């Protein structure tokens, strides 16, 4: 019980730290903020339908164990993704005994929501941006799978899948209010709403990698798991900023965001990154930080060399 309580407190501390970092980044971006572009009525209603599906998936995950839904197909998968994404230290436990059909649901529902959300976001940019977004996540999944070796991949699948669903909810909520008669442009003009949205958006991007690393801790150990999380966050920060520092802010960031789509609901567009409004010094500083985080993460994620031994714990 004490261990569980301690992990819960640690998770709250990490979430608070991510929100604080999100506030700082939101305050930096806010002076360059732009009005989000509107979508047509069809796209708006598609986003609302996807939002309803995502919220239903989360609700089933939260309530499945307390209702008759627990025996329904997909309920165990929803519960596993909810637990693993909000309490990643229980990711392995949440996937034990999950039937093959539910394991497929753990991949199909979050993955399908991610692709559908990205398609709605990039409706004017073609399917190539969606393909690049999927390819980026597949590369991340491949690297993690290689690091896991013969160990089970289902804990991290559940954790990352649940976190991606939460990200999709944030993105779809904005798109679902951005139609011809939507309230999002009015809400975006309110400084508090704008900063709050940017804060949550930034925090959720980092949380995906935090739960990925945390869910791997029982299998890879705290050091390697922390390395994967740190490297993932570093790559998410380094890729656009390094390209911007080399090729120029506007073209590099717009191209990267169109292709990879890490920032939700065209965050680069509404924050002014497309027109080069952000100072080059800020981009360069972020690039350096991202590269250092990526290198540190990769070093930590590597397994011990054959000649090295794990330090033994002294008996109490």
249 pLDDT exceeds 90?
no
CA dihedral in degrees (240, 245, 251, 256; nearest 10)?
-10
For the chain, the residue count is: 316
236 class by beta-carbon count within 10 Å (0-12 exposed, 13-18 middle, 19+ buried): buried
Q: Count H helices and E strands in the chain, helices first.
A: 13, 0
Which one of 105-114, 201-210, 214-223 scores highest in mean pLDDT? 105-114
pLDDT bracket for residue 270 (50, 70, 90) = very low
Whole-Å CA distances, 34 to 122, 168, 226, 269, 299: 18, 21, 35, 7, 39
Q: pLDDT higher for 301 or 215?
A: 215
Torsion of CA 29, 34, 40, 42, to 10 degrees: 10
Q: pLDDT confidence of 123, banded at 50, 70, 90?
A: low
Tell me: pLDDT of 83 over 80. Answer: yes
pLDDT at 305: 57
User: How many Å separate Cα 264 from the centre of its chain?
Assistant: 9
- pLDDT, tens digit (0-9, with 9 covering 90-100), for 7-56: 778 888 888 888 888 888 777 766 655 566 677 888 888 989 999 999 99
Mean pLDDT of 243-252: 54
How much is the pTM? Answer: 0.76
What's the token pair of residue 221? 């150990």
Task: Pull the structure tokens for residue 64.
Answer: 């499945």
* Assigned token pair, 51: 């939002």
């Amino acid at each position: 019980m004490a261990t569980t309580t301690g992990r819960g407190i640690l998770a709250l501390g990490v979430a608070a730290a991510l929100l604080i970092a999100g506030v700082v980044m939101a305050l930096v971006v806010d002076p360059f903020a732009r009005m989000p572009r509107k979508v047509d009525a069809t796209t708006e209603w598609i986003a609302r339908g996807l939002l309803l599906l995502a919220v239903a998936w989360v609700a089933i995950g939260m309530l499945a164990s307390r209702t008759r839904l627990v025996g329904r197909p997909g309920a165990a998968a929803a519960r596993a993704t909810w637990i693993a994404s909000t309490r990643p230290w229980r990711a392995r436990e949440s996937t034990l005994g999950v039937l093959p059909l539910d394991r497929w649901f753990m991949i199909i529902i979050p993955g399908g929501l991610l692709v559908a959300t990205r398609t709605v976001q990039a409706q004017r940019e073609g399917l190539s941006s969606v393909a690049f977004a999927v390819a980026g996540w597949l590369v991340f999944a491949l690297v993690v799978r290689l690091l896991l070796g013969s160990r089970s991949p289902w804990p991290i699948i559940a954790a990352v899948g649940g976190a991606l669903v939460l990200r999709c909810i944030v993105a779809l909520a904005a798109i679902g209010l951005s139609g011809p008669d939507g309230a999002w442009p009015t809400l975006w003009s309110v400084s508090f709403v704008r900063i709050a949205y940017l804060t949550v958006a930034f925090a959720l991007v980092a949380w995906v990698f935090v739960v990925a690393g945390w869910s791997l801790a029982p299998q890879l150990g705290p050091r390697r798991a922390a390395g994967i999380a740190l490297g993932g966050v570093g790559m998410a920060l380094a890729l656009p900023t390094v390209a911007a520092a080399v090729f120029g802010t506007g073209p590099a960031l717009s191209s990267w965001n169109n292709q990879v789509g890490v920032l939700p609901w065209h965050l680069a567009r509404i924050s002014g990154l497309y027109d080069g409004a952000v100072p080059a010094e800020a981009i360069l500083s972020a690039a350096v930080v991202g590269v250092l985080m990526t290198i540190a993460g990769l070093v930590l994620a590597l397994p011990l060399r054959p000649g090295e031994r794990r330090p033994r714990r002294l008996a109490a």
